[in-house]
């Protein structure tokens, strides 16, 4: 759904600069506004903005908590203060969350100051240059565990080096002879850079991680037990006993909130001028209502599970 508006405007050849001249080179960011104005019923703009804010905030809060947890468990507790109490870990987690949030704000301000790339281009480059080096070792670790303990961090370092080279050293214009073209447009340059960067990460970054298997040695002692337990966990499905431990209040709260939200969204249909416009809000409202009902009913199922058998 994230890519539908720019796809539609690009496919139809819409000149966004002509519709939004004040945005100048940033007019590509208005693809969502154009799509909503011309293809969605009146009143949908506010709903889309609310959905985009929610879709942005939800993974952001999860990422902040995850990053704080990684720092507390893998750096603070493991290296800086192995005897840290739960209270100290909580305090450090809160501080690291604030610092991480400030760094995210600074990064957002930096991205906003970049004029040569649109928001869509920045997201694509961000995924190719930063997220891919972090993702490759995480995925390949599920393929093989026969790598030394340092392979993960070393692979990330190699991946970031590849991204640095592709962004600051590699020139897309080197590929002009292959396409028999005089020059590339800004969009073509970004697309080519993203594609080649992903290919470079697959070959170089992924290849480096797999090549570290030559340095693998069987671990013994406490580390060997941890790796053995990890293998057992990866091969064991989640049992009913683990599902029963889930806090059912979350399903109750989210379920009720989604049910209320679904009714409110569906009620917007009364303000529309046609049945086709009303059907859009009703469909969205019903989807949210059904999701909330499922969450609430699943909460009851978990709460009433009779003494599940452990695996």
Residue 181 domain-assigned (yes or no): yes
Residues 166 and 222 in one domain: yes
Residues 196 and 270 in one domain: no
| pLDDT > 70 fraction of the chain, expressed in percent and rounded | 90
pLDDT tier for residue 300 given thresholds of 50, 70 and 90: low
Residues 196 and 272 in one domain: no
Choose between 131 and 286: higher pLDDT: 286
Query: Distance between CA 311 and CA 302 in Å, rounded?
Result: 17
Residues 161 and 249 in one domain: no
Reported as a single tens digit per residue, the pLDDT across 220-232 is 888 888 888 888 8
Residues 130 and 231 in one domain: yes
Does residue 42 carry a pLDDT above 50? yes
The two tokens of residue 104 are: 């995210």
Residues 280 and 299 in one domain: yes
Residues 132 and 189 in one domain: yes
Return the H-helix or E-strand segment holding 259.
helix 248-267
**Alpha helices (H) along 72-205:** 86-112, 119-126, 132-143, 151-168, 176-179, 186-200
Query: Distance between CA 272 and CA 261 in Å, rounded?
Result: 18
What pLDDT is recorded for position 304? 57
Residues 220 and 258 in one domain: no
For the chain, how far is it from start to end, CA to CA, in angstroms? 39
Does residue 139 carry a pLDDT above 60? yes
The two tokens of residue 185 are: 């447009």
Domain boundary at 211, 236, 261, which?
236
Does residue 98 carry a pLDDT above 90? yes
Query: Distance between CA 186 and CA 184 in Å, rounded?
Result: 6
Count CB-CB contacts under 10 A for residue 122.
Answer: 15
| pLDDT > 90 fraction of the chain, expressed in percent and rounded | 26
Residue 257 domain-assigned (yes or no): yes
Residues 138 and 163 in one domain: yes
Query: Residue 282: which domain range?
Result: 242-303
Give the chain's domain count. Answer: 2
Residue 28 domain-assigned (yes or no): no
What pLDDT is recorded for position 309? 43
Residues 124 and 213 in one domain: yes
Residues 145 and 216 in one domain: yes
Residue 5 domain-assigned (yes or no): no
Domain boundary at 236, 262, 285, which?
236
Residues 124 and 230 in one domain: yes
What pLDDT is recorded for position 305? 54
Q: Mean pLDDT check: name the lowest of 34-38, 183-187, 232-236.
A: 183-187
What pLDDT is recorded for position 244? 59
Domain boundary at 236, 259, 276, which?
236
């Amino acid at each position: 759904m994230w890519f539908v508006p720019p796809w539609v405007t690009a496919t139809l050849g819409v000149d966004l600069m002509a519709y939004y001249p004040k945005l100048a080179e940033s007019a590509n960011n208005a693809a969502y506004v154009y799509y909503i104005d011309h293809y969605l019923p009146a009143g949908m703009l506010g709903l889309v903005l609310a959905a985009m804010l929610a879709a942005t905030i939800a993974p952001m809060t999860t990422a902040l908590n995850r990053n704080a947890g990684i720092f507390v468990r893998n750096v603070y507790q493991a290296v800086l203060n192995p005897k840290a109490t739960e209270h100290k870990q909580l305090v450090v987690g809160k501080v690291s969350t604030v610092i991480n949030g400030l760094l995210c704000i600074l990064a957002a301000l930096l991205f906003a100051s970049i004029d040569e790339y649109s928001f869509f281009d920045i997201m694509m480059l961000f995924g190719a240059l930063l997220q891919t080096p972090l993702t490759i070792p995480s995925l390949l670790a599920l393929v093989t565990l026969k790598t030394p303990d340092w392979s993960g961090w070393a692979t990330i370092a190699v991946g970031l080096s590849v991204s640095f080279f592709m962004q600051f050293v590699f020139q897309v214009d080197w590929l002009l002879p292959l396409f028999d073209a005089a020059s590339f447009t800004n969009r073509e340059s970004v697309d080519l850079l993203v594609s080649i960067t992903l290919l470079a990460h697959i070959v170089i970054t992924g290849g480096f991680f797999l090549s570290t298997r030559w340095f693998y040695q069987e671990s013994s002692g406490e580390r060997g037990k941890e790796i053995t337990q990890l293998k057992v966990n990866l091969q064991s499905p989640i049992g009913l006993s683990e599902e029963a431990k889930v806090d059912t209040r979350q399903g109750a709260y989210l379920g009720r909130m989604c049910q209320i939200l679904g009714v409110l969204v569906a009620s917007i249909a009364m303000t529309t001028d046609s049945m086709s416009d009303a059907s859009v809000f009703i469909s969205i409202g019903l989807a949210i209502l059904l999701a909330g009902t499922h969450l609430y009913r699943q909460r009851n199922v978990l709460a009433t599970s009779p003494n599940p058998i452990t695996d």
